[in-house]
Amino acid sequence: MPFTFLRRHTTSLLLGFVALGFAFLLVELLLMGHTEEAQRIAPAASAVGMLLSLGALIPQRTLRTGIAGLFVLLALSGVYGSMLHRDDRGEREEEALAALETVEAKLAVPATNEASGASEAAVNAEASVPAAEAEAEAVEVVGEAINSFANNPPLLSPLALSGLAGLGLLVLLTSASTVPLQVTTRQTLGTPATGD
- Over residues 107-157, the pLDDT tens digits come to 665 545 555 555 555 555 555 556 667 667 766 766 666 666 556 778 888
The pLDDT, as a whole number, for residue 8 is 85
CA distance 159 to 167: 12
The pLDDT, as a whole number, for residue 73 is 95
The pLDDT, as a whole number, for residue 182 is 43
Q: Which residues contact 157 (CB under 8 A, 6 or more apart)?
A: 81, 85
Kindly report each contact of residues 153-159 with a partner whose C-beta sits within 8 Å and lies 24 or more positions away, as own/partner. Answer: 153/84, 153/85, 153/88, 153/89, 154/85, 155/82, 155/85, 155/86, 155/89, 156/82, 157/81, 157/85, 158/42, 158/78, 158/79, 158/80, 158/81, 158/82, 158/84, 158/85, 159/78, 159/79, 159/81, 159/82
Q: Which of the residues in the chain have pLDDT under 70?
A: 1, 92-93, 95-97, 99-100, 103-104, 106-132, 134-135, 138-139, 141-151, 176-196
The pLDDT, as a whole number, for residue 183 is 43
The pLDDT, as a whole number, for residue 47 is 97
> Residue 72, Cβ neighbours under 10 Å: how many?
11
